[in-house]
Amino acid sequence: MSEKRTDYLSWDEYFMGVAMLSGMRSKDPNTQVGCCIVSQDNKILSMGYNGFPIGCSDDEFPWARDGEDPLETKYVYSTHSELNAILNYSGGSLAGAKLYVSLFPCNECAKAIIQSGIREVIYDCDKYADTPSVKASKRMMDAAGVRYHQYHRSNRKIEIEL
């Protein structure tokens, strides 16, 4: 057997796969999001997933989605996967980079994406497309010239024994 393999992962499968795998680290019981930031020449620069900031215990801070007291919901504490991936990068500039994410970025992450110089967003799910947050995100990225498009699922199943 000396022929080159033909069933290797495409770049998009590889980077979205890494983003999805990162999301599997999330402790959020409802939505796990993963992100992978890639250079223009296809080198992985950073990864992230949604969770609470360092020092804010996953066991002590709330994971609830709603409740009378907003301070008892996850929303005021969780850091989104995209922001974590941007903040996890210690190599200098992200100018010109691509960002793969399993869920469309919210308006707050869009601000960080734009300001860090990321030029392209490849997302999988867009389940919050009708919310003001995602609408604002698209408006800002359109204005700033950040391109975004949905990942084309290959429907390939990957099994990894750990």
Ligand X SMILES: Nc1ccn([C@H]2C[C@H](O)[C@@H](COP(=O)(O)O)O2)c(=O)n1
> Toward Zn ion, which CB reaches closer, 74 or 80?
80
Could you give the dihedral angle defined by the CA atoms of residues 93, 42, 33 and 104, in that order, rounded to the nearest 10 degrees?
A: 80
Q: Counting contacts by CB under 6 A, is residue 81 touching ligand X?
A: yes
Contacts of 3 (CB under 8 A, 6+ apart): none
Question: What is the rounded CA–CA span in Å between residue 65 and residue 118?
Answer: 30
Q: Which amino acid is at 114?
A: I
Letters for 41-60 (x = contact with ligand X by CB under 6 A, - = none) are ---------x----------
Residue of the chain from 37, 46, 80, 98 that contacts Zn ion (CB under 5 A): 80
Catalytic residue among 3, 60, 82, 159: 82
Examine the residue annotation and report whether 82 is marked as an active-site residue of this protein.
Answer: yes
**Restricting to residues 109-128, which ones interact with Zn ion according to CB under 5 A?**
109
Beta strands 120-125 and 98-103 are parallel
Residues 6+ apart with CB under 8 A from 21: 34
- In the list 38, 80, 97, 124, the residue contacting ligand X (rule: CB under 6 A) is 80
Taking the least distance from each CB to ligand X, the nearer of 73 and 144 is 73
Binding mask 24-43 for ligand X (x = CB under 6 A): ----x-xx-x----------
Q: Does 106 bind Zn ion (CB under 5 A)?
A: yes
Q: Where are the alpha helices (DSSP H) in the chain?
A: 11-23, 81-88, 107-116, 132-144
Helices and strands (H, E) in the chain, number of each type: 4, 5
The H or E element spanning position 153 is: none
Q: Which does 33 bind (CB under 5 to 8 A by kind): ligand X, Zn ion, none?
A: ligand X
With CB under 5 to 8 Å by kind, the binding choice for 50 among Zn ion, ligand X, none is: ligand X
Q: What residues make contact with ligand X under the rule CB under 6 A?
A: 28, 30-31, 33, 50, 65, 74, 78, 80-82, 103-106, 109
